[in-house]
Structure 1
Amino acid sequence: MHVEQQVQTWLNQQGLGSCILTPLTGYTNHVFRVEAAQDPKCSVIRIANHELAAGLCPLAQYPKHVISLHQDAVELDLAPELLGFDDQMGLMWLADVGERRTIQRHDFAEIRTLLARLHSSDLAWRSPEQTELDGANLLMLQRLATSADPKLSQIAQQLLKLAIHRGYANYPIKPVHSDLNPGNWLHDGQRWWLIDWDYARLMVAEWDYASLIVEQAWDQTHAQAFAPTMLLCDLAWFCACFALLSWDWHVQRGTQELAAKQAITTYWLQRCESGR
């Protein structure tokens, strides 16, 4: 059955009747805006893409875990209300909380408050495949250090050396979203919401700030204006590390963004080597 038909059938079973389904952009899942004649409010369906290779779509591989992560985020008032779900299909039915919007400097205080609420919670998130905690992603760097790509390997080795010297493996871990790309921020006209908690886990708090800064393509001036002062001395390293992992992600998939990802990685590597 076609994905859109699956969604329509599932919504019918929830008593919603005939709906207009509008496809929205989704990187790993199928996403639809739902408009029902008997409900003036729109909603959103996320359904797993089971055609992707194993590991590329957590909602397909670990649906119960992903749904539980989102439910935790709802409890913290960070994520849209979960109207319903199906953990066999890998389907989540969410309240519509607005549109994607570019984060501006006047939003920084609110964003910091939302992240602080998450990082100060006592959620003990572990990804299903996780055998040991790796707050600074050093295991991934170790893998990249032996990459067949000499550029990736060299930078990974440089970052590992700095991480060992600075003791990042011993930094306290917090619950983090870990995938704060522009598509995962929604604004309802009053406030910000976060979606796509599929990769949420325990890591150092710097990882969330670094992922947001790198994915927003902010420079050091914007990063310093955004991030809490207590994180600034280490932030360039975490930005370089996240940028490198993003670069590797695009290498594996052969996208058109490789040059841009390499440039961002080099930018932050230079700053983390000279900034401390």
Structure 2
Amino acid sequence: MSMDVLEAFNAHPELAAICGVLENVLPQNGLTNRVYRLEATRGVFFLRLPRPENAGLVDRQAEEQNLALAAKLGLAPPPLFVFPGAGILLTAAVDDVARAPEGVPGLLGDMLARLHGSGAAFAGVLEPEDVYRAQRGFLDPAVELASEIAPLDRAMRDLAREAGKAGTIRRVPVHGDLSPGNCLWTGDRLWLIDWEYSAMADPAWDLAYAILEHGFSEAQEGAFLDAYKDRQAPTGPVPGAGRLEAMKARCDAVSALWALEQVARGRDAGLFLPFARSRRDRALARVRGLI
């Protein structure tokens, strides 16, 4: 039995009241959190406990508000217990199928359009430039990584100059982290989990991030965007091709800095440094094609 889980149950008796007696605790995959599948006398649950090294990086009050709204929209599993002060979250278990269904890009595009067009007022604002600056601030003392970062800094300054020429962007509620691991496919539906980075933002952020993280081919990207546009049209916020390409570069830059943060925090450089370089180089190539 995991000591982390036992400590959480001891500190929060509400967990035992909901779950009953623990029978089995199974660790799940997770890069930024410790996630456990709990088999207990009152059902099967997922328990999320943040990693200590990531304390303070997420606005847990905003996450709680946004998750409640997403659950009300039928996009996220309803939370059963939330304790923002410690970042604890308990939901009923969602068993995803081993293989995603056919037509994933279209299904995801439609669901994302539902979120963006919902009119929900999420807490917080996600501005890619602000995210990048915050990450850079953390990495400033990591002088050993300066040469890895310098090309990205130049590219992001170029993109910022181009963005200044654009008009006002209407913000919508976004998930913020649409990686495949946060999209759970059951037999008949899709659930979005991990709303830690949800906020109000340019809809291009979610679109670009989903395309990159799911590795959509050109045809799949077209199906994804067509499904999104079909539900949003004619009045919804559908970003143009240039804006979407620029956002892809920003998303890759943020992902690169996130991986470099992990290296700076002492995590496995052999795992995170190659990832950071691949995302950095892809961002740089995209910026060269835009500027």
Deviation of 1:102 after TM superposition, in Å, equals 6.3
For residues 115-145 of structure 1, the C-alpha deviation after alignment (integer angstroms, 9 at most, x for no partner) is 1111112233343xxxxx564x223455759
Deviation of 1:217 after TM superposition, in Å, equals 3.5
Deviation of 1:107 after TM superposition, in Å, equals 1.3
User: Which position in structure 1 is the counterpart of 2:212?
Assistant: 214
For 1:15 and 1:181, the matched residues in 2 are separated by 28
Counterpart amino acid of residue 254 in structure 2 = L
For 1:111 and 1:95, the matched residues in 2 are separated by 22
Deviation of 1:258 after TM superposition, in Å, equals 2.8
User: Secondary structure of 2:53's partner?
Assistant: coil
User: Which position in structure 1 is the counterpart of 2:176?
Assistant: 178
Gaps in structure 2 of 5+ consecutive residues:
230-237, 264-268
Does structure 2 retain, via aligned residues, the 8 Å contact 1:66–1:197? yes
Deviation of 1:179 after TM superposition, in Å, equals 0.9
Match of 1:240 among 234, 246, 249: 249
User: Which position in structure 2 is the counterpart of 1:252?
Assistant: 261
User: Which position in structure 1 is the counterpart of 2:6?
Assistant: 5
For 2:159 and 2:82, the matched residues in 1 are separated by 44
User: Which position in structure 2 is the counterpart of 1:43?
Assistant: 45
Of 148-157 and 174-183, more deviation after overlay is shown by 148-157
For 1:248 and 1:188, the matched residues in 2 are separated by 33
For 2:281 and 2:187, the matched residues in 1 are separated by 36
For residues 245-273 of structure 1, the C-alpha deviation after alignment (integer angstroms, 9 at most, x for no partner) is 11111112224243344334433543454
Query: TM-score scaled by structure 1?
Result: 0.80
For residues 154-208 of structure 1, the C-alpha deviation after alignment (integer angstroms, 9 at most, x for no partner) is 3333333234324357322111111111211111111111101011011100101
Match of 1:138 among 129, 137, 151: 129
Q: Is the aligned partner of 1:23 residue 2:36? A: no
Q: Is the aligned partner of 1:226 residue 2:224? A: yes
Gaps in structure 1 of 5+ consecutive residues:
128-132
Of 116-125 and 263-272, more deviation after overlay is shown by 263-272
User: Which position in structure 2 is the counterpart of 1:130?
Assistant: none
User: Secondary structure of 1:199's partner?
Assistant: coil
User: Which position in structure 1 is the counterpart of 2:197?
Assistant: 199
For 1:19 and 1:248, the matched residues in 2 are separated by 40
User: Secondary structure of 1:99's partner?
Assistant: coil
Question: Which is helix-richer, 1 or 2?
Answer: 2
For 1:63 and 1:140, the matched residues in 2 are separated by 17
For 2:119 and 2:279, the matched residues in 1 are separated by 33
For 1:151 and 1:15, the matched residues in 2 are separated by 46
Q: Is the aligned partner of 1:99 residue 2:96? A: yes
Does structure 2 retain, via aligned residues, the 8 Å contact 1:186–1:193? yes
Q: Percent identity?
A: 24
**RCO greater where, 1 or 2, for CA within 8 Å and sep 6 or more?**
2
User: Which position in structure 2 is the counterpart of 1:189?
Assistant: 187
Does structure 2 retain, via aligned residues, the 8 Å contact 1:236–1:268? no
Q: How many residues align?
A: 263
Counterpart amino acid of residue 108 in structure 1 = P
- Specify whether residues 21 and 8 from structure 1 end up closer, same or farther in structure 2 by C-alpha distance, changes over 3 A only: farther
Does structure 1 retain, via aligned residues, the 8 Å contact 2:48–2:90? yes
Does structure 1 retain, via aligned residues, the 8 Å contact 2:175–2:197? yes
For 1:104 and 1:163, the matched residues in 2 are separated by 38
User: Which position in structure 1 is the counterpart of 2:73?
Assistant: 76
User: Secondary structure of 1:236's partner?
Assistant: helix
For 1:134 and 1:33, the matched residues in 2 are separated by 30
User: Which position in structure 2 is the counterpart of 1:32?
Assistant: 36
Q: CA RMSD in A?
A: 3.1
Of 204-213 and 77-86, more deviation after overlay is shown by 77-86
Deviation of 1:80 after TM superposition, in Å, equals 0.7
